[in-house]
Structure 1
């Protein structure tokens, strides 16, 4: 149980390959017990900020993204402050979207759009075996003599004719199947809108297939490859660029067709993705549906989405938020992602996409509308989605990306159980939607909780929540291959080696870690010195987890090796590297050399690319953070280049084909597939031993900073369910309205939504972990009003 005065988690950093100058680093280096890494001196814990005067009102000892709350010791992603490292710490840290400068050069932002800153088996060729030992085998000579031409003829002409005939046959062999399989079934005549047509009834029934005035049919293009033209729903156009064998597919009369293919080596959406064989080569859409906030003024700057929406509502400018959703990520981004050799998207989404409670200022439901756009565009370009629940009620870590900067109220403090129950409901509602047949082949993975402060809430309590979430999801989907999404668990900042076996042979679960190098001790070593660090630090442990746990992903990683970047550590907090971050012991150097990408030398770009390739190869299944970072409103350019995949593509330090990374660490496929059958939904999937299930029953007997769970506020499952709505399709040639589903894949799952018990007392969900529980809590025995645990399927 955590000390009430130490509410933050203890998270260790991946160590950097720092220099050994004791005078320079004796007060700056961190000790990361249990973290693998290159030889380096022992790191000393760095004490951080001892004041919280810069915190927002009510955010006692708060921690923004990457940071822990101050307790006088070094700790995770130190921002306002940090906490002591645990023994046996993880070698992974958390996520980042750098926030942009919102000062607008000293002016207040008024209505401007958001600017957010912060495989398959390796194919092997096989030589053909020669049919004879000589270039002119005897049997061929005999055959040639037997069938000699009756009269002399130019051998050159014969050869040319033979080659031409072969080419014609080859072209026909390709074109004819494509025509009959793809183009002909989609041929449609243009609408005949002539009001003078005497047979108006026939015209109404068949206008989508009627001949034009010329009598020639019009072919409706529903698919295309590299160089084809895309027309978006707003009428704008762009050229599809995919030189990796991918093709898009979109038919307004078949909107749930899953025929698109991201690249030649990635299974199409209507084909099986073989986890453990086909590699996840993904990227995050960070800063889109969960903002990290781009709107502020000099009096009350936004430090999280809570204060962002408060400011927008105050200024009557909520349209600014929706404009961000519309413009920050567009359809073209999805096309470009496929064209870059990426096949998977991790899409962060907040709980307020489903519901909010009174007093929570978030814009409810709108993020869901744009997530539906993400599904549509991913389907069109053959991309799969990992739905990432990035922010949950009460905050799972107290960092700004969780919705509200401050304190952890998930499985921590007096509202810890109630907030976890709300989270289970959000997970259930989302699972019901994405498990419908219209969406299940696109949204194929569900990350149910991003970066919980595991060392704060406790691994046992977190495991019990994970087990209950598994039960909730598999009650909806059933067990076995093809039945609902993979369930992705973040490691909670515990070592990956502590997770195998915790859930028995649970059906299709995955482990998620977030490897970052940049938030610990800082080094001015050149980028070239990091060339093999990912291979050394991450490769072996990822192999072990793939073999022992099953599917293992790096849900977030970047190219950053320092904490340089505008608002990377939080709004106006500076950097450790330049020594102006609260509590930083000394200045290492100027961040300009790391952030001014316009002055990168060719060698610098090559060194960053080498690091990126090594990271991809070592991690094997990954999601880079993040696809896009907006330009600074002051400088007009990206100020955190190490975090932008798209900028790296543009400037040459990210590969134009992700498979270029294969073998960078010296082995083309470090993990030897396949995974165990039960790990992929095969034989034994869902076999959770009774000892495991009973040992992880829900709710946990106690939680951190609150004591017995039975004495804390909790909800009952009698409320109405906020079913999620499907997309709306509009098209000029649509002949019928598609069925988008009712949001509920399994109607037999009929329990109500968690809601307050009449007569019982509740605290604010964001009250903080040190508040006392209501007294009296409610009439009768507290445990009697809690619903029975959901049985394992």
Structure 2
């Protein structure tokens, strides 16, 4: 989320014009992509649909500072090539809605066979086997023993044939045909879910209407009207055949950044909790000491509450807040990416840090499994750093900035770079690289405090760590995503020219500055005028640019949106001199919203999607308040919007909302996508961003600050465990060892025994220890040396 700390620096924002814009209600419930007769989409931009009011002053968010063809890949650890011909639309335009293939009847996928002709869940009555089956039955009037013997032999042969052919059909023929020709039926159920019963048929894939059985045995019906299909074979756990939608490349195909659009959603509040996203967790501890206002104090309060399970309550939250069914729903909503905020304590904690250590990682591994199953790609977002990179509650602890700032700013940055390296080593392994395709190395660093020079040096070192983990050579490992640090996209134009697959991330919000009581309908074109030009320009001036976060909120109304007990600007209760604009009830009481309000939010959402082009909505789900029993921040929940009619059921319908906004046209430059010249950063550029910086803000010379040394044992991330059954043999699947590049042998950054350190969270006003170290330890500090040097060709 964007800044909501009353101690954050105040930055002026330019006003935004608001206009009245009306769209057809068809956007809320669009016709089926394959509806009969829908050969041409409705005219979305008829002049009569547009009315313009006199522009009135509005505002920008705290996060908006002014200033090739597809290639197929074989699934890892799989000998089949299912899905290798899966279709992918060349772009995400609404005009591609009606494009689908037709094949002769003999080539129909299983999902296209009328349901009444299919037969039982065993699959034995499939039309493919009906002729053989009919031929095996004798005339009931015959009394001939010879005919009975013949019939018995034929039946026995049928059983043998079925035992061989049926598994081949469901694991090879059907998925392949489903990938080549997605089902055009939105209502006919597909194949049944898999079963673990010994000797029974295990169905490993399914499309719209299929039944899914989850790890705990519960079932649900997969709803995906966009020809997406899931794929999960427990005996082939790294198979990447699944495809989220027909227009999104399957996981075993290349996602063409800059051509294929990112329609994403954040899983905020899950593995990194936030009070406004998961209020019930925090409401329980509002009368305790400490009061729960961030995950630090929540962890302390929970740990003391042994009667309720202590810190294990957080794991219960991990287990229940986001489940496999959420991933299925995300694919069925037309979304193809998830951005998953992960805290550093998923890797480890150190002395005095109260967080639940190493547990969130287990659930991130589940997220990888679920994303793989439903064809969804992951942007891993390192959301919380030791010491805090921005001082906001979602960084782990509300308070001060201690990364690249203050006496512990350098040591905390060293530790953070280690965690980036550890994560990069894991996700660069071949088992995971096609699912976790983007790595946001640091969420919302407060560059106005740190300084762009120090942050740029940190970014280059982090980039180097990731590329080193990926192995030498362009095109390997994830995209490296840099947040703009609240400096504005234009301030990063030309940063790291020729770097191998980097992306720029901005979080445009409207709700964290000057408030307005204007009706929601007046915001219909605001995102177009506010954001289109900046993102269009950045796609050329920097390269791949995406909105890592945005929401439908135009005011800061909502339970704890600004933080626990901080009130709202809209009602004049937020710290500082904020005039009261109105009462928040009209913005939060979603159960009483009328069609005009819902359509106003819909129009704003569509304009945002079109203006931003590649985006991740914040967030997928807002939990219910334990006090009211309902969602109290409705404009932040994509799921709630889908369920209640203010979010589009198909994000492609947003295309063209921002008319005449000069939307950027692909492709990206070759080096920006791992092609020719990728990785060849000019030596002069690398030198200008050498790590570490000579000085840090609020601290002075780095040589006078506490620092760590690479002598510790690296906290390698563990892989998941999968068991594979073959006949009577059961073995554990190879899942990687957590370290992709064996040549990366540097140790972990840890304290020097004879040096002095401050609390990593102490704040920038503290002076560094004096003396820092004994004379014998001075040689061990090696402050000026980078942890990892640039490999050849980087």
TM-score interval for Structure 1 and Structure 2 normalised by the shorter chain: 0.7 to 0.9
**Separation in 2 of the partners of 1:376 and 1:261?**
14
**Separation in 2 of the partners of 1:547 and 1:210?**
55
State the shift of 1:227 in Å. Answer: 0.3
Where do 5+ consecutive residues of structure 1 fail to align? 1-5, 20-37, 46-65, 67-75, 78-88, 93-118, 127-165, 188-207, 213-217
C-alpha spacing 1:403/1:435, structure 2 compared with 1 (3 Å)? same
1:299 aligns with 2:274: no
> Structure 2 residue aligned with 1:745, among 717, 740, 745?
740
C-alpha spacing 1:436/1:605, structure 2 compared with 1 (3 Å)? same
1:642 aligns with 2:635: yes
1:544 aligns with 2:537: yes
Which residue of the partner structure matches residue 30 of structure 2? none
> Structure 2 residue aligned with 1:255, among 229, 232, 237?
237
1:617 aligns with 2:620: no
**What is the correspondence of 1:142-221 to structure 2 with a 5 Å cutoff?**
168-169=105-106, 171=108, 183=170, 185=172, 218-221=200-203
C-alpha spacing 1:725/1:15, structure 2 compared with 1 (3 Å)? farther
> Structure 2 residue aligned with 1:572, among 561, 565, 572?
565
State the shift of 1:10 in Å. Answer: 4.8
> Structure 2 residue aligned with 1:312, among 302, 324, 329?
302
SS in 2 for 1:396: coil
**What is the correspondence of 1:75-474 to structure 2 with a 5 Å cutoff?**
90-91=65-66, 120-122=90-92, 168-169=105-106, 171=108, 183=170, 185=172, 218-293=200-275, 294-295=281-282, 296-300=285-289, 301-316=291-306, 317-474=310-467
1:383-426 Cα offsets, whole Å, 9 max, x none, are 00000000001000000000111100000000000000000000
Equivalenced residue count is 639
C-alpha spacing 1:259/1:608, structure 2 compared with 1 (3 Å)? same
**Separation in 1 of the partners of 2:304 and 2:197?**
55
C-alpha spacing 1:168/1:673, structure 2 compared with 1 (3 Å)? closer
**Separation in 2 of the partners of 1:547 and 1:692?**
19
Which residue of the partner structure matches residue 792 of structure 1? 790
State the shift of 1:319 in Å. Answer: 1.8
Contact 1:438 1:741 in 2 (8 A): yes
**Separation in 2 of the partners of 1:14 and 1:366?**
43
1:120-155 Cα offsets, whole Å, 9 max, x none, are 4256989xxxxxxxxxxxxxxxxxxxxxxxxxxxxx
C-alpha spacing 1:182/1:260, structure 2 compared with 1 (3 Å)? farther
Contact 1:15 1:521 in 2 (8 A): no
**Separation in 2 of the partners of 1:7 and 1:417?**
22
SS in 1 for 2:731: coil
**Separation in 1 of the partners of 2:171 and 2:324?**
27
SS in 2 for 1:422: helix
Contact 1:662 1:669 in 2 (8 A): no
State the shift of 1:455 in Å. Answer: 0.3
C-alpha spacing 1:544/1:775, structure 2 compared with 1 (3 Å)? same
Contact 1:13 1:516 in 2 (8 A): no
Which residue of the partner structure matches residue 651 of structure 2? 658
State the shift of 1:180 in Å. Answer: 9.4
Which residue of the partner structure matches residue 146 of structure 1? none
1:420-476 Cα offsets, whole Å, 9 max, x none, are 000000000000111111111100000000000000000000000001111111112
Contact 2:699 2:764 in 1 (8 A): yes
State the shift of 1:480 in Å. Answer: 4.8
SS in 2 for 1:487: strand
**Separation in 1 of the partners of 2:13 and 2:269?**
23
Contact 1:277 1:673 in 2 (8 A): yes
Where do 5+ consecutive residues of structure 2 fail to align? 1-5, 20-53, 68-88, 97-102, 114-127, 129-164, 175-194, 276-280
C-alpha spacing 1:432/1:642, structure 2 compared with 1 (3 Å)? same
1:698-754 Cα offsets, whole Å, 9 max, x none, are 110000000000111101111101110011236888953211111011111001000
C-alpha spacing 1:669/1:658, structure 2 compared with 1 (3 Å)? farther
> Structure 2 residue aligned with 1:776, among 766, 771, 785?
771
SS in 2 for 1:346: strand
Contact 1:9 1:454 in 2 (8 A): no
1:140-176 Cα offsets, whole Å, 9 max, x none, are xxxxxxxxxxxxxxxxxxxxxxxxxx96445489888
Contact 2:268 2:619 in 1 (8 A): yes
> Structure 2 residue aligned with 1:524, among 517, 529, 547?
517
**Separation in 1 of the partners of 2:516 and 2:410?**
42
**Separation in 2 of the partners of 1:211 and 1:360?**
47
1:599-647 Cα offsets, whole Å, 9 max, x none, are 1111111110010000000000000000000111111111100000000
State the shift of 1:478 in Å. Answer: 3.3
C-alpha spacing 1:752/1:743, structure 2 compared with 1 (3 Å)? same
Contact 2:723 2:733 in 1 (8 A): no
**Cα-Cα RMSD:** 2.9
C-alpha spacing 1:504/1:10, structure 2 compared with 1 (3 Å)? farther
Q: TM-score of the superposition, structure 2-length normalised?
A: 0.76
C-alpha spacing 1:509/1:182, structure 2 compared with 1 (3 Å)? farther
Contact 1:349 1:391 in 2 (8 A): yes
C-alpha spacing 1:420/1:407, structure 2 compared with 1 (3 Å)? same
Contact 1:16 1:522 in 2 (8 A): no
SS in 1 for 2:512: coil
Which residue of the partner structure matches residue 672 of structure 2? 679
State the shift of 1:498 in Å. Answer: 1.2
Contact 1:468 1:698 in 2 (8 A): yes
SS in 1 for 2:220: strand
Contact 2:167 2:202 in 1 (8 A): no
**Separation in 1 of the partners of 2:662 and 2:205?**
33
Deviates most, 611-620 or 565-574: 565-574
C-alpha spacing 1:10/1:786, structure 2 compared with 1 (3 Å)? farther
SS in 2 for 1:736: strand
Contact 2:208 2:229 in 1 (8 A): yes
1:171-197 Cα offsets, whole Å, 9 max, x none, are 489888x9898625499xxxxxxxxxx
Deviates most, 305-314 or 724-733: 724-733
Contact 1:422 1:754 in 2 (8 A): yes
State the shift of 1:219 in Å. Answer: 2.9
Which residue of the partner structure matches residue 626 of structure 1? 619
